[in-house]
Amino acid sequence: MSRPTDHEARELVIQITNDLFSMGLLTATGGNISSIANEEGTLWITPSQMYKGDLHADDLVRIRHDGTVLEGSRKPSIEYQMHARAYEVRPDSTGAVHTHAPVATAFGICNQTFPPINTDAVFLRDTVTVPWIMPGSRELADAVGEALVKSRGAILQNHGLMTVGPTLRKAATRAMLLEETAKIALYVKQFGGEVSLLPDEWVEKLAGFADFV
Protein backbone atom coordinates (compact mmCIF):
# COMPACT_ATOMS: atom_id res chain seq x y z
CA MET A 1 0.00 0.00 0.00
CA SER A 2 1.38 3.39 -1.01
CA ARG A 3 1.06 5.98 1.74
CA PRO A 4 0.13 9.52 0.67
CA THR A 5 2.37 12.41 1.58
CA ASP A 6 0.96 14.63 4.32
CA HIS A 7 0.35 17.37 1.77
CA GLU A 8 -1.56 14.97 -0.50
CA ALA A 9 -3.58 13.60 2.40
CA ARG A 10 -4.63 17.01 3.68
CA GLU A 11 -5.55 18.34 0.25
CA LEU A 12 -7.64 15.27 -0.54
CA VAL A 13 -9.47 15.41 2.80
CA ILE A 14 -10.46 19.02 2.06
CA GLN A 15 -11.48 18.18 -1.52
CA ILE A 16 -13.64 15.25 -0.41
CA THR A 17 -15.18 17.29 2.41
CA ASN A 18 -16.14 20.00 -0.07
CA ASP A 19 -17.60 17.45 -2.49
CA LEU A 20 -19.70 15.69 0.15
CA PHE A 21 -20.88 18.94 1.73
CA SER A 22 -22.01 20.30 -1.65
CA MET A 23 -23.99 17.09 -2.23
CA GLY A 24 -25.73 17.36 1.15
CA LEU A 25 -24.08 14.25 2.61
CA LEU A 26 -22.44 16.27 5.40
CA THR A 27 -24.35 18.65 7.63
CA ALA A 28 -23.03 21.99 8.89
CA THR A 29 -20.99 20.31 11.62
CA GLY A 30 -21.96 16.63 11.19
CA GLY A 31 -19.78 13.97 9.61
CA ASN A 32 -16.02 13.56 9.44
CA ILE A 33 -13.34 12.60 6.92
CA SER A 34 -9.88 11.12 7.42
CA SER A 35 -6.82 9.91 5.55
CA ILE A 36 -3.83 7.94 6.73
CA ALA A 37 -0.81 10.18 7.22
CA ASN A 38 2.71 9.64 5.95
CA GLU A 39 3.85 8.45 9.38
CA GLU A 40 2.52 4.97 10.09
CA GLY A 41 -0.01 4.77 12.90
CA THR A 42 -1.20 8.35 12.42
CA LEU A 43 -4.03 9.94 10.46
CA TRP A 44 -5.33 13.32 9.34
CA ILE A 45 -8.92 14.00 10.40
CA THR A 46 -11.40 16.86 10.23
CA PRO A 47 -11.86 18.89 13.43
CA SER A 48 -14.75 18.75 15.84
CA GLN A 49 -17.72 21.13 15.59
CA MET A 50 -16.42 23.25 12.71
CA TYR A 51 -18.56 24.32 9.76
CA LYS A 52 -17.95 21.77 7.00
CA GLY A 53 -18.58 24.24 4.18
CA ASP A 54 -15.41 26.26 4.78
CA LEU A 55 -12.65 23.98 6.03
CA HIS A 56 -9.01 24.53 5.09
CA ALA A 57 -5.94 22.31 5.28
CA ASP A 58 -4.73 24.21 8.36
CA ASP A 59 -7.91 23.17 10.19
CA LEU A 60 -7.08 19.46 9.96
CA VAL A 61 -5.52 17.55 12.83
CA ARG A 62 -2.94 14.75 12.72
CA ILE A 63 -3.43 12.25 15.50
CA ARG A 64 -2.31 8.85 16.71
CA HIS A 65 -4.95 6.13 16.89
CA ASP A 66 -5.40 6.86 20.60
CA GLY A 67 -6.35 10.46 19.85
CA THR A 68 -3.05 12.08 20.78
CA VAL A 69 -2.69 15.26 18.71
CA LEU A 70 0.62 15.51 16.83
CA GLU A 71 -0.13 18.43 14.50
CA GLY A 72 -2.84 21.06 14.34
CA SER A 73 -4.45 23.41 16.83
CA ARG A 74 -8.03 22.14 16.58
CA LYS A 75 -9.79 19.45 18.56
CA PRO A 76 -10.11 16.26 16.45
CA SER A 77 -13.51 14.86 15.58
CA ILE A 78 -15.14 12.93 18.42
CA GLU A 79 -15.36 9.97 16.01
CA TYR A 80 -11.58 9.56 15.81
CA GLN A 81 -11.88 6.12 17.47
CA MET A 82 -14.19 4.93 14.71
CA HIS A 83 -11.73 6.07 12.03
CA ALA A 84 -8.76 4.51 13.82
CA ARG A 85 -10.63 1.21 14.18
CA ALA A 86 -11.56 1.28 10.49
CA TYR A 87 -7.89 1.41 9.50
CA GLU A 88 -7.04 -1.37 11.94
CA VAL A 89 -9.61 -3.80 10.50
CA ARG A 90 -9.04 -2.67 6.91
CA PRO A 91 -5.25 -2.19 6.70
CA ASP A 92 -5.49 -1.87 2.91
CA SER A 93 -7.48 1.36 3.34
CA THR A 94 -6.02 4.86 3.10
CA GLY A 95 -9.24 6.85 3.55
CA ALA A 96 -12.41 6.76 5.64
CA VAL A 97 -15.64 8.73 5.39
CA HIS A 98 -18.42 9.22 7.93
CA THR A 99 -21.44 11.05 6.52
CA HIS A 100 -24.88 12.03 7.76
CA ALA A 101 -26.45 11.30 4.37
CA PRO A 102 -30.18 11.88 4.94
CA VAL A 103 -31.81 9.25 2.71
CA ALA A 104 -29.39 6.43 3.51
CA THR A 105 -29.72 7.28 7.21
CA ALA A 106 -33.52 7.08 6.98
CA PHE A 107 -33.09 3.83 5.01
CA GLY A 108 -31.22 2.34 7.98
CA ILE A 109 -33.65 3.71 10.56
CA CYS A 110 -36.41 1.82 8.73
CA ASN A 111 -34.32 -1.39 8.66
CA GLN A 112 -34.28 -1.55 4.88
CA THR A 113 -31.97 -3.68 2.74
CA PHE A 114 -31.03 -3.22 -0.90
CA PRO A 115 -33.12 -5.31 -3.31
CA PRO A 116 -31.40 -6.00 -6.67
CA ILE A 117 -32.97 -3.00 -8.42
CA ASN A 118 -29.77 -2.03 -10.27
CA THR A 119 -26.08 -2.92 -10.45
CA ASP A 120 -25.10 -0.59 -7.60
CA ALA A 121 -27.64 -2.25 -5.31
CA VAL A 122 -26.00 -5.60 -6.04
CA PHE A 123 -22.54 -4.19 -5.34
CA LEU A 124 -23.81 -2.76 -2.04
CA ARG A 125 -25.80 -5.75 -0.83
CA ASP A 126 -23.12 -6.73 1.72
CA THR A 127 -23.68 -3.43 3.57
CA VAL A 128 -24.13 -4.02 7.29
CA THR A 129 -26.50 -1.98 9.47
CA VAL A 130 -25.04 -1.28 12.92
CA PRO A 131 -27.64 -0.76 15.69
CA TRP A 132 -27.57 2.66 17.34
CA ILE A 133 -24.70 3.16 19.80
CA MET A 134 -23.67 6.46 21.38
CA PRO A 135 -21.65 8.55 18.89
CA GLY A 136 -18.01 9.04 19.79
CA SER A 137 -17.90 5.95 22.00
CA ARG A 138 -15.44 3.07 21.93
CA GLU A 139 -18.41 0.72 21.71
CA LEU A 140 -19.51 2.33 18.45
CA ALA A 141 -15.97 2.17 17.07
CA ASP A 142 -15.75 -1.55 17.83
CA ALA A 143 -19.18 -2.31 16.35
CA VAL A 144 -18.41 -0.38 13.17
CA GLY A 145 -15.04 -2.10 12.93
CA GLU A 146 -16.78 -5.49 13.07
CA ALA A 147 -19.16 -4.40 10.31
CA LEU A 148 -16.34 -3.13 8.11
CA VAL A 149 -14.68 -6.55 8.22
CA LYS A 150 -17.69 -7.79 6.22
CA SER A 151 -18.14 -4.78 3.93
CA ARG A 152 -16.36 -1.53 3.06
CA GLY A 153 -19.53 0.34 3.96
CA ALA A 154 -21.83 0.33 6.99
CA ILE A 155 -25.06 2.10 7.87
CA LEU A 156 -25.06 3.45 11.43
CA GLN A 157 -28.66 3.25 12.58
CA ASN A 158 -30.17 6.60 13.60
CA HIS A 159 -26.81 8.21 12.81
CA GLY A 160 -25.30 7.98 9.31
CA LEU A 161 -22.80 6.02 7.20
CA MET A 162 -19.19 4.87 7.50
CA THR A 163 -17.16 3.83 4.47
CA VAL A 164 -13.52 2.97 3.80
CA GLY A 165 -11.51 2.45 0.65
CA PRO A 166 -8.08 1.77 -0.80
CA THR A 167 -8.17 5.48 -1.59
CA LEU A 168 -10.13 8.25 0.08
CA ARG A 169 -11.84 8.92 -3.24
CA LYS A 170 -13.11 5.31 -3.36
CA ALA A 171 -14.38 5.60 0.21
CA ALA A 172 -16.27 8.76 -0.75
CA THR A 173 -17.62 7.13 -3.91
CA ARG A 174 -19.09 4.29 -1.88
CA ALA A 175 -20.76 6.80 0.46
CA MET A 176 -22.23 8.59 -2.56
CA LEU A 177 -23.49 5.31 -4.07
CA LEU A 178 -25.12 4.29 -0.79
CA GLU A 179 -27.05 7.56 -0.72
CA GLU A 180 -28.02 7.44 -4.41
CA THR A 181 -29.12 3.79 -4.24
CA ALA A 182 -31.16 4.46 -1.11
CA LYS A 183 -32.86 7.29 -3.01
CA ILE A 184 -33.78 4.95 -5.86
CA ALA A 185 -35.15 2.40 -3.38
CA LEU A 186 -37.26 5.20 -1.86
CA TYR A 187 -38.55 6.32 -5.26
CA VAL A 188 -39.48 2.72 -6.12
CA LYS A 189 -41.64 2.53 -3.00
CA GLN A 190 -43.23 5.90 -3.75
CA PHE A 191 -44.12 4.95 -7.32
CA GLY A 192 -45.62 1.64 -6.24
CA GLY A 193 -46.69 -0.94 -8.77
CA GLU A 194 -44.74 -3.95 -9.94
CA VAL A 195 -41.00 -3.76 -9.21
CA SER A 196 -38.59 -5.06 -11.85
CA LEU A 197 -35.58 -6.76 -10.27
CA LEU A 198 -32.40 -7.96 -11.94
CA PRO A 199 -32.54 -11.67 -12.87
CA ASP A 200 -31.01 -14.02 -10.29
CA GLU A 201 -28.31 -15.25 -12.66
CA TRP A 202 -27.14 -11.69 -13.26
CA VAL A 203 -27.19 -10.88 -9.56
CA GLU A 204 -24.72 -13.71 -9.01
CA LYS A 205 -22.54 -12.70 -11.95
CA LEU A 206 -22.45 -9.05 -10.88
CA ALA A 207 -21.61 -10.01 -7.29
CA GLY A 208 -18.17 -10.99 -8.57
CA PHE A 209 -17.54 -7.36 -9.50
CA ALA A 210 -18.39 -5.98 -6.04
CA ASP A 211 -14.89 -4.54 -5.63
CA PHE A 212 -15.67 -2.21 -8.54
CA VAL A 213 -16.96 0.26 -5.94
Number of residues written out for the chain: 213
In the annotation, is 179 catalytic?
no
Q: Among 8, 11, 79, 204, which one carries the catalytic annotation?
A: 79
Pairing of the two strands 153-156 and 128-130:
parallel
Q: Which helix (H) or strand (E) holds 160?
A: strand 160-165
DSSP 64: E
The DSSP line for 96-138 is EEEE--HHHHHHHHTT----SSSHHHHHTTTPEEEPP--TT-H
Best CA proximity match to 153, nearest among 95, 79, 77, 66: 95
In this structure, how many other beta carbons lie within 10 angstroms of the beta carbon of residue 15? 14
Active-site residues: which are they? Answer: 79
